Amino acid sequence: MIEIFLGLLREIWFLLLEMAPYLLLGFLVAGILHVLIPAEKVTKHLAQNNMASVIKASLFGVPLPLCSCGVIPVAAHLKKQGANKGPLLSFLVSTPTTGVDSILATYSLLGILFAVVRPVAALFSGLLAGLMSIPHSEQDSQTEASNNNCVICTDEDPHSHTIMENTRHSIKYAFIELVEDVGKWIALGIIIGGVIGYFVPASIIEKYLGNPFLAYPLMLLIGIPMYVCATGSIPMVAPLILKGMTPGAGLVFLFAGPATNTATLSFVGGEMGRKSLITYLTSIIVGSLLFGFLIDLIWNMSGRDLNLITGTMEMLPEWLKISSGIVLILLILKAIIKTPQPELTGKGLVISVPGMTCENCKRTLEAAIRKVENVLDVNINLKQKKIEVIGAIKKTEVFEAIQTAGYDISESKSI
């Protein structure tokens, strides 16, 4: 029993060390991008009804470190400003399937081929979704003023911040907020990857997942309903590929898994219609299968060169890998072991929001509700998926703020 535990621990530790330096670098770059390219700048460029907006939507989406849940509020804001379905679908497809943090983590475990093809696949599928939607969508005639809130202080008036303030906010977003959003999924992915690496025999994987005709549809069936972030999916796939699964099937899962979850599917189907939902799923399926086939083709033409689909961490010194692993563990533990969720006081309007699933949802909703007139305080219990709004507020205004942020309301009551 102890031997099994130690063997499993070694596999998990190995995966952690492979990813940690690149993950930390990816988080840092994501924090810088958050300050340089905030969501408000994204909406400014995408709220148009033309092909240029579709292209911009896909290009903006590829590096942004937003999961399929975190992308919903941004898409909802775009919709509110009158953006047509083309840019919205492009953004919804290209954003969660990759990101600057996951590109670096992909390179660390799966090598240069995956690191290049994965963002290209995200760009292609985003463009495909947008271009498929343009002929069937019309520009909303009612557009609202852009929200120009500063990402640091939320002030809407034109102003600037010092380099030190920008740096502090970048670091806070990178190593606190972003880790809170994806940390548990990274930890889960590394643990699952370790379990696969230790317990699943290579012969079984090679027999059943080495055949693309079986592996591709199976990875689609597993990936589409499953919620996993773009980075957390990598350690799940890496050991399967090393044990004989076709690399193309790995790409299918890396693409379909992060692109979809029940909240995103509900948003697309409910807010944009059935045709948009079909377009959304079609672009994801076509993109994942096409680029999965491309990866397998390149790999086979190379003589199945393992250097193309394995990580390059041996170039980094051992001390850097170990120190990065320890730092990453501490950051994830800090994100998971947080202050207990606040209890509702019983002094205000209590609203159930079933689509509120992560810290990003919590921050988005709190910011949106605090802008409503006469709001004195907002208490959010993420575990219960409930929000308490205190103040002499109008229900309709609070409901509108929540729905504008991209979330549905299941029930509410005044206490």
Determine, yes or no, domain membership for 342: no
pTM: 0.73
Domain boundary among 331, 363, 388: 331
In a domain, 405, yes or no: yes
Identify whether residues 63 and 196 lie together within a single domain.
yes
Tell the burial category of 119 from Cβ atoms under 10 Å away from its Cβ (0-12, 13-18, 19+).
buried
- Residue 190 pLDDT more than 80? yes
Confidence of residue 145 (pLDDT cuts 50, 70, 90): very low
* 393 and 268 housed in the same domain: no
Looking at this protein, which amino acid is placed at residue 246? T
The answer on 135 and 275 residing in a single domain is yes
Which residues sit opposite 413 in a β-bridge?
350
Local confidence band at 331 (pLDDT 50, 70, 90 cut-offs): very high
**DSSP tag of 348:** S
CB-CB contact of 263 with 355 (8 Å): yes
CATH number of the structural domain spanning residue 390: 3.30.70.100
Residues 307, 207 share a domain: yes
Least confident of 106-110, 165-169, 390-394, 409-413: 409-413
Confidence of residue 53 (pLDDT cuts 50, 70, 90): confident
- According to DSSP, residue 299 is labeled H
- Between 44 and 13, the more confident residue is 13
Instruction: Judge whether 42 lies within some domain.
Output: yes
pLDDT of residue 144: 43
Residues 109 and 179 in one domain: yes
Q: Which range marks the domain in which residue 269 is found?
A: 2-331
- The whole-number pLDDT of residue 69 equals 64
Q: How far apart are CA 343 and CA 182, in angstroms?
A: 24
Per-residue pLDDT at 186 exceeds 90: no
Give the pLDDT mean for 300-320. 80
Task: Please tell me whether residues 270 and 382 are part of one structural domain.
Answer: no
Q: Is residue 344 part of a domain?
A: no
Are residue 188 and residue 115 in the same domain, yes or no? yes
User: Is the Cβ–Cβ distance between 248 and 93 less than 8 Å?
Assistant: no
* Sheet (strand 349-352) strand order: 375-381, 386-391, 349-352, 411-414
Radius of gyration for the alpha carbons in the chain, expressed in angstroms and rounded: 22
Q: 288 falls in which pLDDT band (50, 70, 90)?
A: very high
Least Cα distance to 281 among 358, 221, 347 occurs for 221
Place of tokens 């970048």: 170
pLDDT per residue as tens digits for the range 235-286: 889 888 988 899 999 999 999 888 876 667 777 887 788 888 899 999 999 9
**Residue 327 to residue 168: CA distance in whole angstroms:** 18
Is the CB of residue 16 less than 8 Å from the CB of residue 108? no
341 inside domain = no
Residues facing residue 387 across a β-bridge: 351, 380
pLDDT at 330: 94
Instruction: Give residue 290's pLDDT.
Output: 96
Q: What is the DSSP string of 272-283?
A: H-HHHHHHHHHH
> Are 299 and 408 members of one domain?
no
Examine the fold and report which residue of 331, 358, 374 is the final residue of a domain before the chain moves on: 331
325 with 354, same domain? no
Tell me if 310 sits within 8 A of 111, measured CB to CB. Answer: yes
Domain boundary among 270, 298, 331: 331
| Three-class DSSP category at 191 | helix
Percentage of the chain exceeding pLDDT 70: 83
**What span, in angstroms and rounded, lies between the C-alpha atoms of 85 and 272?**
7
Task: Please indicate, yes or no, whether residues 185 and 290 belong to a single structural domain of this protein.
Answer: yes
Total structural domains in the chain?
A: 2
If you average pLDDT over every residue of the chain, what do you get? 82
Exposure string over 193-225, b if 16+ CB within 10 A, otherwise e = bbebbeeeeeeebeeebeebeebbebbbeebbe
For residue 164, is it within any domain?
yes
Looking from the CA of 181 toward its CB, the CA atoms found within 13 Å total 26
Do 236 and 310 have their domain in common? yes
Q: Are residues 110 and 208 in the same domain?
A: yes
**Residue 310's beta-bridge partner residues?**
none
Select from 239, 320, 204, 231 the least CA-distant residue to 10. Answer: 239
Segment 349-405, tens digit of pLDDT = 899 988 787 777 888 888 889 889 889 899 998 888 899 999 888 888 999 888 877
| DSSP SS3 for 138 | coil
The half-sphere exposure of 41 on its side-chain side, counting CA atoms within 13 A, is: 11
In a domain, 175, yes or no: yes
**Does 276 map to a domain?**
yes
